[in-house]
Structure 1
Amino acid sequence: MGGKSSYIRQVALICVMAHMGSYVPAFEARLGILDSIYTRMGASDNIYKGRSTFMEELTEASAIVSRATERSLVILDELGRGTSTHDGIAIAHATLEYFIRDVKALTLFVTHYPPLCELERAYPQHVSNYHMAFLLNEPDIATDTDDGDVQPEFITFLYQLIEGAAGRSYGLNVARLADIPDPILRTAARKARELENVVNARRRNKKVLSDLWSISDRSSLMQWLQAN
């Protein structure tokens, strides 16, 4: 809904047009010479070859991995979404890191997996996080109502690419736009908040353990206890 897939399609089309010697729909464009453009987008199975959606996704990704060079443009949209969260993150992370470290191709990688954003910290000279801008309407920010329900947020998409990783996902807003009934939205918003609280608690616990593990003497421990 935010325009991520449309944006990366636009990049690929502009590159094709430029290599044809055509004008491109931009006030200004700076493009390098590419030897190929590879894309992995969409979600569909292949009934004739007996391949599930996930198998088809990985088959296409494998072909790109084996053929891409440092002069290629690689576009991967939501790689790993066709399996469990942990496996999907692992596959997406390993694939993206391979393109960064080994292939060194210009890569546009769309994902909803927050752990992948940490690659910017690991490869600051080669990786940048971006997200599609939006406005969060303040009156409808998720707040508890008198009956204990949680109201989902309402956002307005701006369809502009801006620097930085998105702070969180707003899938409930898309569900609202799809006319999912309000009782379902409220239940989903409440469950989303519960899960978010669990994740945040785990992060805090992990930080506490990390801090304690790094303490080597009693005075440092006392200082840490006083600060926390």
Structure 2
Amino acid sequence: MRSADDWSRWGGVVIAVLAAVAALSLVMPRLLGVAAGPEVEIITALKATEKDGMELAIPGVGTPLRSKGHHFARITVNVEPGGKRAVAWATLDFTGRLERTEVSSLGVERVPFVRRGREWMPEGLAAPRLAAVVRTLEARRRALEAGEGKALEALRAPDARGDGGGGEEAAEVGKVLEVRRRRYRAEAWFLRLERDEAVASETWRLEGDLPSRPVDERGQRRLSLIRSGEEFLFSAGLM
């Protein structure tokens, strides 16, 4: 039979082993990350958002674009000289919501990463191109609802400015603006993102009043956008 001293010594050994295991559990992920290289760390960081969820802040909007489900795939990583910055290219399949608007998107995403201490983190948002397209679409919706013509014109790409979108577009804009107490709602945006372009299918609803009748109309329209720096602007009509 073991003496009390024997049990005490064994207890000390067990405690030391458990402490070593706990320490390794904290250190090993970092060691493995260093051994695997920045590419694996960045891919792991993007994939982790699928479980944790993703919120994208949209300038001018009180609530973020929240994912209900998203998936990054075909991820490639380009590390810049010096090893402090990198860019991840990926396809992103996203479903979520911005306030009252359902958002579904499929396409190419470009995510800049920076190394902070021992960790790689997105320099800004985890899906900056999706956020840029949604920002422009929401800015258009708000400008239509508020009747702000200059704000609408500012959302055109430089090559598309000044032409007014043609007579048909002017008539469509005028039809919206003549409605009093109007509420222009985007019920859904279905997006396709390429490297430098995006296509949005919008399901819309217009409510308000005309002198002769109340208005409650629904429809769909297709909108084309092009990348301009870090923004996406409308390359063709606004309507």
TM-score strictly above 0.5: no
* TM-score normalized with structure 2 length: 0.19
Higher gyration radius (CA): 2
What TM-score do you get using the length of structure 1 for normalisation?
Answer: 0.19
Q: Of Structure 1 and Structure 2, which has the larger fraction of its residues in strand?
A: 2
